[in-house]
Chains A and B, each alone.
Chain A
Amino acid sequence: MTNIFEDRFDRMLGQALHRHREPAPADFTERMMKAIERAEQQRILAGVVLQERLALAASAALGIAAIVAVVFFPSAVAGAFGSIGRGLVDQGGALAGRIPQALAAIGRQWQLYAVLGAAAAVAIYSLLDLLLGDRLRTA
């Protein structure tokens, strides 16, 4: 400490004040810790409530936006959905056309695909065992 006066009087004053004990309730710490736990629980609860409210607000906003779009811009919505639908049909057709070619390719190299399939099965089993091992064994 840097005492700015430093003489006998200051030393006596310091010693006398040091000896003073201020009364505080004995159970204050315990009550304070309970209050802190309650405050923490409330904080967590407030976070969850906020998340739920945000999710609800987002879904409501999305629904309202969809209704507004259908009511005020029906042709644009119909056009957009139509093009998405056509795109899906085209992609599906192209994919279906490739299935016989893919089967023929697998048929030509079936040994390789058999080994890859077995390795994939072992990998999936290991992963399931790692994540749900106990439940799989006790089931």
Chain B
Amino acid sequence: MVDKLWKNQQKGEWLRLLRSGDHQAFSRFIDKYKETVFLCCRRLGLREDEIEDAASDTFLAAYKALSRYAGQSDLSTWLWSIAYRKAVNHLRKNRRQWQLEEQLNEQVADERQPEMAAQLQGEETEKVVWEAVGRLPRLWAMAVILHYREEKSVADIAKIMGAGENTVKTYLFRARARLKETLAAAFGADVSDKYI
């Protein structure tokens, strides 16, 4: 309880510093969230040379908008929505609309079959799961990452992706069914009994 209070107090102080434009606090902010922003840009299918530009745009926009951040949504949800918008803008800049929609909905072509998980443990399981998520259509993969990795609610995911809550639920439902199928094939009967 005391720990939680102390953490909340520290978080409050950090937020106050961030809003006041403190450079050291913002540097900590980048360190804490850069992985998240790169993940968002990479999962949406930006090219490697576009990823860093989109990440820089995201943090610059966050720096400018922080003084107006009212704290109504979680800081990471707020940053995710900026990163998502910037990444989609970068995609839009270099692709026609139909190409963009196709890219966001396409199933990433990867003919490799995940290795049988009968021999898999720990990090290898993570790799297989990650590869299976990587093969989902990009918007489904984004919803899965936000829900399972970032622990966001459906309402927050809808806010980040600028989609309706029912659309997000559909993405998650379909993605989950596809992942169950793919991972059952990858893990083999004995392991899939354990998990699936």
The reply to whether the CB of B44 lies closer than 8 angstroms to some CB of chain A is: no
Residues in B with CB closer than 8 Å to A39 are: 60, 63
- The interface residues of chain A, by DSSP majority, are classed as helix
Task: State A16–B196 Cα separation when bound (angstroms).
Answer: 14
Chain A residue numbers with a CB within 8 Å of B129 are 12-13, 16-17
Interface residue range, chain B: 35 or more
Known contacts A9-B180, A12-B195, A17-B133; A22 and B39 CB within 8 A of each other: yes
- Interface flag for B147 (CB, 8 Å): yes
B121 to chain A: closest CB distance in Å? 12
Query: Interface of chain B, helix or strand or loop or mixed?
Result: helix
**Which range contains the number of A residues in contact with the other chain?**
20 to 34
Chain A residues within 8 Å of B, Cβ to Cβ:
1-5, 8-10, 12-14, 16-25, 28-29, 32-33, 35-37, 39
In order of increasing CB-CB distance, the 10 nearest A-B pairs are A16-B129, A1-B151, A17-B149, A22-B39, A24-B38, A29-B30, A14-B148, A12-B195, A19-B126, A16-B126
Beyond the given A13-B176, A32-B59, A33-B27, please list 20 additional residue pairs across the A-B interface where CB-CB is below 8 A. A2-B153, A3-B147, A4-B169, A8-B195, A10-B176, A13-B144, A14-B151, A16-B129, A17-B126, A17-B149, A20-B126, A22-B35, A22-B38, A24-B34, A24-B38, A24-B55, A28-B34, A29-B27, A29-B31, A36-B60
